[in-house]
Amino acid sequence: MSGESKELRILMLEDTSTDAELIEHAMRRGGISFSSLRVETREAFSMALDEYRPDIILSDYKLPSFDGMTALQMARDAHPEIPVIMVTGALSDIEAVDLIQAGAKDYVLKDRLARLPPAIRRVLSAEQGVRARKEAENALRESYRQVKLARDEWNSAFDAVKDPLFFHDRSGSITRCNRAYVEQAGLPFREIIGKPYWEIFPKGEGPLASCGSVLGNFLETADEEILAEGGRTFISRSFSARDADGEYLFSVHIMEDITERKKSDAEILRVNRLMKTLSEANRSLLHAADEADLMRRMCEVITGSGRYMRAWIGLAKEDGRIDPVAVSGDLGKPVESVNLSWKEQGLGPAGMAVRTCRTQIAISDVPGFEAWKIPAAEFGCQSCIALPLQENGKVFGVLNICSAESSVMTPDEVALLEEMAGDLTFGIVNLRTRSERDRAVVERQEYAERLRSSLEDALQAIAYTVEMRDPYTAGHQRRVANLAAKIASMLGLPEDQVHGIRLAGIVHDLGKILVPAEILSRPGKLSEIEFGLIKVHPQAGYDILKGIDFPWPIAQAVLQHHERLDGSGYPAGFRDGAIILEARILTVADVVEAMSSHRPYRPGRGIGVALAEIRENRGRLYDPQIVDACLELFEMGYVLPSV
């Protein structure tokens, strides 16, 4: 309870006024500031739950008209957030356990009313902890929702890829494909999944030759050209996806339709004059490091052929300017000194090409582009072709090629230059897309890591909440987590699994938040009933954690960490094969830390006694391999950390 300034509203179900006065006297004497409403009947109690809205309920167990268990159930059904403490004259052990299991937060006998004020404070403090935990759980659920949203967005992006794309396993069976692949295959999705890809698309006698290199090399891309049914040509780009340890997961195939490009290549071969220029231009597309490098290389290839004196590329700006960003060749005057525009005042071929989205040709002795001819003559330019660079019908730039000759360009030459401009556009768009995709991948990875970090921070906060209730065992969970992780590493488990075991250790006693604090910290031996309450904590911890979608079996490890190989453990009495590895490791670490550390009901027995315990019960209670790893760890000098 945070401070004593707030006056508590207490609903008292008590049929004896004298007892009610004694209870109120005990609370005032204990420093509780309160106002109370006493009721005796079921009807009055039901009405007070809604109208009085108490902070806490104090209920007698036996009343003339009905009993405390019924009252408890009514309170839990109507307002589960209001804690109930039973204040009664007599209560059997069985009745006490039934009440606690039914939801009562505590019980106080009327001949021990001095216990009531601290019990009220403890229960209200615990309720605040429960609310904090629920808020943390809600935050975790929101994190999970964000992860799911990111996954759905990735699925949408996967289907948005225009090229046929599919995944297959080591046997070549298709495990996933995008919409473009389904359309190319001409089959329903259900008839594609699980089939060898060479029976679907691209069809063949067996797997592609590139599959062998993909399976044998880490993320090594392998390209293979395929002639498909119907005469269309595809490039298959394949690579393998592997986990952090380099183990093969699946292969990815991207099928790019290059049919039209092949036709263009055939046309290029028929035009010897431009063969070298176009070939080198295509090489620039492959080797360019970025967009600026690609445009610079393209201009140099064009002028390097000797056919053209200058080439430059300009980008169309929103304000109407054409901004030259790459240039090659010598015209005696820089392109930047010319006022270039694609608006109505732009009367040159470059501006007209951008404005009309069509190739423009200007020749000095042919009518047209009169305003351009005067400045062009100063450059020594006798002819010019301006080719728009466009994506999805929108022009974003222009490729300008100038010649010192005034001869008319042939249709084949124009067609090849337009193809060159198209390849340039393809390269620019792909480079931009790749840059945006790489940035998006990095952002998604960073976001996923932040979500994972937030999840782990929430677990740390939950563990700290448990430890604050029990100062005698503060740090126990963290020491167990540290030892369990060290044992897991000794066993050679993967780093990610070790990390999950460490997190399970941090919250393995989370269920103790539901055990009364005075039982956890009471000196001396616990009664059978009290020990029974403590034995509930693995199940309670599991119930808290089971709804959270961890990437590790944390909830199961918490549930099973008090199980033993011979079935003598609790809560389920699982035997050897039913206990998961993570729980077996936590069991050994928990026993060693608990026996060697001080407890309110006994002094610490020392690490020697703890290690003797697991050694003597190796194979009977505890997993022998885990015991051996733990013993070897301490022989190497390991010491439980001081937390």
The tens digit of pLDDT for each residue in 501-543 reads 999 999 998 888 888 877 776 776 777 887 888 889 999 999 9
Given 3.40.50.2300, 3.90.1300.10, 3.40.640.10, 3.40.980.10, which CATH number is that of 8-125? 3.40.50.2300
Choose the most confident range, by mean pLDDT, from 44-48, 197-201, 410-414, 596-600.
44-48
Cα–Cα distance, 612 to 593 (Å, whole number): 13
Instruction: Give the residue, 573 or 284, on which the prediction is more confident.
Output: 573
178 in Cβ contact with 164 (< 8 Å): yes
- Can you give the length of the chain in residues? 643
Q: Concatenated DSSP letters for 174-235?
A: EEEE-HHHHHHHTS-GGGTTTSBGGGTSS--SSS-THHHHHHHSTT--EEEEEE-TTS-EEE
Tokens of 368: 């047209």
Q: Concatenated DSSP letters for 387-445?
A: EEEEETTEEEEEEEEEES--PPPPHHHHHHHHHHHHHHHHHHHHHHHHHHHHHHHHHHH
User: What sign for the dihedral angle of Cα 30, 32, 33, 39?
Assistant: negative
Cα–Cα distance, 232 to 180 (Å, whole number): 15
pLDDT value at residue 228: 75
Q: Nearest-CA neighbor of 414 among 320, 348, 349?
A: 349
Measured at the CA of 599, the angle between CA 597 and CA 603, to 5 degrees, comes to 75
Percentage helix, strand, coil, to 5, in the chain? 55, 15, 30
pLDDT band at 266 (very low <50, low <70, confident <90, very high): low
Instruction: Give the residue, 3 or 251, on which the prediction is more confident.
Output: 251
Cα–Cα distance, 461 to 330 (Å, whole number): 69
Q: At what angle do helices 116-160 and 17-29 cross, to 10 degrees?
A: 80
Tokens of 273: 């004059």
Q: Looking at residue 40, what DSSP letter applies?
A: -
Whether pLDDT at 491 is above 90: yes
Cα–Cα distance, 181 to 379 (Å, whole number): 52
Choose the most confident range, by mean pLDDT, from 117-126, 204-213, 366-375, 449-458.
117-126
Choose the most confident range, by mean pLDDT, from 246-255, 334-343, 516-525, 584-593.
584-593
Q: Looking at residue 471, what DSSP letter applies?
A: G
pTM for the model: 0.39
Residues spanned by CATH 3.30.450.20 within the chain? 162-257
Helix (H) or strand (E) run with residue 556 in it = helix 554-560
pLDDT per residue as tens digits for the range 67-85: 889 999 998 998 888 999 9
Whether pLDDT at 95 is above 70: yes
DSSP three-state, residue 315: strand
Name every residue whose Cβ is closer than 8 Å to that of residue 49 and which is 6 or more positions away in sequence.
11, 74, 75, 78, 79, 82
Whether pLDDT at 104 is above 70: yes
CATH number of 262-436: 3.30.450.40
Instruction: Give the residue, 450 or 497, on which the prediction is more confident.
Output: 497
Cα–Cα distance, 539 to 558 (Å, whole number): 8
Tokens of 259: 């049919």
Per the prediction, the chain carries an average pLDDT of: 82
Whether pLDDT at 337 is above 50: no
Instruction: Give the residue, 188 or 239, on which the prediction is more confident.
Output: 188
121 in Cβ contact with 554 (< 8 Å): no
Q: Looking at residue 573, what DSSP letter applies?
A: -
pLDDT band at 218 (very low <50, low <70, confident <90, very high): very low
Instruction: Give the residue, 129 or 643, on which the prediction is more confident.
Output: 129
Q: Which residue matches tokens 């782990």?
A: 456
* End-to-end CA, the chain: 27
Mean pLDDT of 412-420: 82
164 in Cβ contact with 180 (< 8 Å): yes
Name every residue whose Cβ is closer than 8 Å to that of residue 535 and which is 6 or more positions away in sequence.
562, 570, 571
Cα–Cα distance, 255 to 166 (Å, whole number): 9
pLDDT band at 419 (very low <50, low <70, confident <90, very high): confident
Q: How far is residue 632 CA from its own chain's centroid?
A: 36
Report the 3 state secondary structure along 497-542: HHHHHHHHHHCCCHHHHHCCHHHHCCCCCCCHHHHHHHCCHHHHHH
User: What sign for the dihedral angle of Cα 52, 57, 60, 65?
Assistant: positive
User: What sign for the dihedral angle of Cα 539, 545, 549, 552?
Assistant: negative
In the chain, pLDDT over 70 holds for what percent of residues?
85
Whether pLDDT at 214 is above 60: no
Q: Concatenated DSSP letters for 84-129?
A: EEEEES---HHHHHHHHHHT--EEEEGGGGGGHHHHHHHHHHHHHH
Beta strand pairing status for 8-13 and 34-39? parallel
Helix (H) or strand (E) run with residue 43 in it = helix 42-51
307 in Cβ contact with 296 (< 8 Å): no
Given 3.40.50.11540, 3.30.450.20, 3.40.605.10, 3.30.1330.60, which CATH number is that of 162-257? 3.30.450.20
pLDDT value at residue 287: 67
Tokens of 271: 């035009």
pLDDT per residue as tens digits for the range 438-467: 777 777 777 667 767 777 777 777 777 777
pLDDT value at residue 555: 94
pLDDT value at residue 207: 78
Cα–Cα distance, 69 to 103 (Å, whole number): 10
Q: Looking at residue 472, what DSSP letter applies?
A: G
pLDDT value at residue 210: 66
Helix (H) or strand (E) run with residue 130 in it = helix 116-160
AA letter at 193: I
586 in Cβ contact with 561 (< 8 Å): yes
CATH number of 470-635: 1.10.3210.10
Cα–Cα distance, 305 to 328 (Å, whole number): 12
pLDDT per residue as tens digits for the range 270-303: 455 565 666 666 676 676 778 888 888 888 888 8
Mean pLDDT of 42-69: 89
pLDDT band at 144 (very low <50, low <70, confident <90, very high): confident
Mean pLDDT of 221-229: 72
538 in Cβ contact with 571 (< 8 Å): yes
User: How many other CB atoms sit within 10 Å of the CB of residue 582?
Assistant: 25
Dihedral over alpha carbons 572, 573, 577, 583 (to 10 degrees)? 70
Choose the most confident range, by mean pLDDT, from 177-181, 268-272, 408-412.
177-181
88 in Cβ contact with 107 (< 8 Å): yes
Q: Looking at residue 362, what DSSP letter applies?
A: E
Tokens of 209: 């030759």
Residues spanned by CATH 3.30.450.40 within the chain? 262-436
